């Protein structure tokens, strides 16, 4: 629990190098130039902090002050809303919906091939 107590004031991403969902979150952080502490975890030996933070004990898990998110899509949307520039999604609702549909299709059709 030591890491948890020390990280509350710094945005932290629990990530795994080979996890495609973690990679999505890291790409958004890099694209937006967000300063974050990335904790690379071993999927076989997960830290106690991750178990305490995330009921699914999975990565990616983002901790931003008192907020804990543990789904890559939720993490990406949160980061885009909290740090609006540069925007990741189009402004108009129709284009936004099309972008979300494209992301959904990538998740359904392509992610199963790499996982």
DSSP 41-105: -BTTB--HHHHHH-TT--S-EEEETTEEE--HHHHHHHHHHHS-SS-SS-SSHHHHHHHHHHHHH
Among the listed residues 19, 29, 50, 75, the single catalytic one is: 19
Q: What is the pLDDT of residue 1?
A: 45
Q: At which residue do the structure tokens 């076989």 appear?
A: 44
Kindly indicate the confidence band of residue 115, based on its pLDDT and cuts at 50, 70 and 90.
low
> pLDDT: is 8 or 83 the higher one?
83
Domains of the chain: residue spans and CATH: 2-88 (3.40.30.10)
Active site residue 8: no
Per-residue pLDDT of 51-67, as tens digits, reads 899 999 999 999 999 99
Q: Bridge partners of 15?
A: 40
Per-residue pLDDT of 17-47, as tens digits, reads 999 899 999 999 999 999 999 999 998 888 8
**Predicted model pTM:** 0.84
Q: What is the DSSP letter of 8?
A: T
Q: What is the pLDDT of residue 77?
A: 94
């Amino acid at each position: 629990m030591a890491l948890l107590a020390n990280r509350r004031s710094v945005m932290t991403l629990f990530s795994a190098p080979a996890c495609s969902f973690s990679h999505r979150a890291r790409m958004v952080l890099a694209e937006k130039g967000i300063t974050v502490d990335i904790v690379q975890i071993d999927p076989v030996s997960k830290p106690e902090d991750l178990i305490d933070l995330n009921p699914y004990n999975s990565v990616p898990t983002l901790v931003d002050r008192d907020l804990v998110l543990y789904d890559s899509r939720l993490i990406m949307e949160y980061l885009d809303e909290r740090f609006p520039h540069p925007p990741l999604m189009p402004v108009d609702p129709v284009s936004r919906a099309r972008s979300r549909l494209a992301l959904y299709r990538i998740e359904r059709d392509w992610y199963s091939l790499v996982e």
